Amino acid sequence: MNIAAPVRLPAGKADLSRQAEALRPTHMNAQPILRVVDLKKTFDGFTALDSVNLTVDDGEFLAIVGPSGSGKTTLIRLLVGMEEQTSGEIWLRDSRIDNVPANKRPTCMVFQSLALFPHRSVGENIEFPLKIRGVDPALRRARALELLDLVRLPQHYYGKRIQQCSGGERQRVALARALAFDPEILFFDEPLSALDFRLRKMLEKELKDLHQRTGKTFIYITHSLEEAMVMSDRIAIMRSGRFEQLGPAEEIYAKPKSRFVAEFMGEVNLFRANGNGGTVSFEHVTVDPAAAAKRGLRPGFSGDLMARPESVRLLKPGERADVMATGIVESEYLLGSRVQYLVRLASGYKVTVELSRENRVTWEPGQSMGVGFDLDRAHLIQEA
């Protein structure tokens, strides 16, 4: 693969390198393949990317999620070489690649639009990157047929026109084309967002499967948290050009560092601590003092108490929980195997409760109902 000659990390950058190293996943033993050091991008004075540090391991599946405008695409465009950084460094193993042109980087991008040639055949599309690099036609064809197998398309699709392929088949062709030149890292910019729900669900699993079969490193932008959680080893949550939190999906879901991440990672109940009184108290709910003390909650705690809907239960008469409130069931939503309730408290705050379908309760409009959860199912958020 034609990339820049290896360059050693300059001694003066050791601190930045250590910062990036600190963000390495701890659950994998693989070697780092990509290191981003203090990467920054401004457009006419506007900071789209603000000193991002990141280390990605060889063979990892990293999802980048964040609200619109948070800098996801900008980051990926810098990594693949479609845009030049304002400052910072990008390293691929021991080589600094931020000065290497996009077509010389051993990376490949799969776009939402797929960017296939509609009038050409599946084979011609897959072979395109090989053709522009002057690969022999017989070798190109052999590689295309091999890739059709890899993405689980029949070999006779080689001659089929893109226009005659379904949405899911086009996705597979785009993947095969991305893999044609055997890139070290594949970048995806919302490749499934234009597809219908059923197809998207199927391709999510196929993509995860393809990741495992190829052993390649995947870096994947998505708006869909569910997609990120299904597929990736780690998730990076972006906000205003920075990583707000980076870690395994389960950790980000269960232990968000901020209200922003908690709210971004799906439905959540958040209760803010009540100032500096002599007891531990939170808005909207009452907390059992003994349970609070056991959890290490001291008066003066400043932060939020978080409970995901599946951690909250509807209390039977006389039933107790560490954290409790009373409200009126406002609505019920059936979510397939689960059922969700919205309970409006006297303060106006709405608690979301999610139960498995077999625990569905009968309720009357306007009926008063206790809600509660135990502190071992809750998470405390203390923002810096």
Residues engaged in binding ligand ATP (CB under 6 A): 43, 46, 48, 66, 68-74
Beta carbon nearer to ligand ATP, 68 or 337: 68
What is the smallest separation between the CB atom of 69 and ligand ATP, expressed in angstroms?
4
- CB-based contacts of 327-335 (< 8 A; 24+ apart in sequence): 327/351, 327/368, 327/369, 327/371, 328/366, 328/367, 328/368, 328/369, 329/363, 329/365, 329/367, 329/369, 332/363
Beta carbon nearer to ligand ATP, 37 or 237: 237
What is the smallest separation between the CB atom of 46 and ligand ATP, expressed in angstroms?
6
- Asked whether the beta carbons of 314 and 324 are under 8 A apart, the reply is no
- Asked whether the beta carbons of 381 and 258 are under 8 A apart, the reply is yes
Beta carbon nearer to ligand ATP, 220 or 373: 220
Beta carbon nearer to ligand ATP, 47 or 95: 47
CA atoms within 13 A on the CB side of 63: 25
Beta carbon nearer to ligand ATP, 193 or 212: 193
Number of helices (H), then strands (E), in the chain:
10, 19
What is the smallest separation between the CB atom of 66 and ligand ATP, expressed in angstroms?
5
Beta carbon nearer to ligand ATP, 71 or 372: 71
What is the smallest separation between the CB atom of 191 and ligand ATP, expressed in angstroms?
13
Which residues are within 8 A (CB) of 197 and not within 5 positions of it... i.e. 6 or more apart? Answer: none
What is the smallest separation between the CB atom of 118 and ligand ATP, expressed in angstroms?
24
What is the smallest separation between the CB atom of 77 and ligand ATP, expressed in angstroms?
7
Beta carbon nearer to ligand ATP, 73 or 95: 73
- Euclidean distance between the first and the last CA atom of the chain, given in angstroms as a whole number: 44
Task: Write out the H or E segment, with its range, that includes residue 144.
Answer: helix 137-150
User: What secondary structure letter does DSSP report for 2?
Assistant: -
What is the smallest separation between the CB atom of 49 and ligand ATP, expressed in angstroms?
7
Task: Write out the H or E segment, with its range, that includes residue 218.
Answer: strand 217-222
Rounded to whole angstroms, how far apart are CA atoms 83 and 41? 9
* Structure tokens, 267: 């439905």
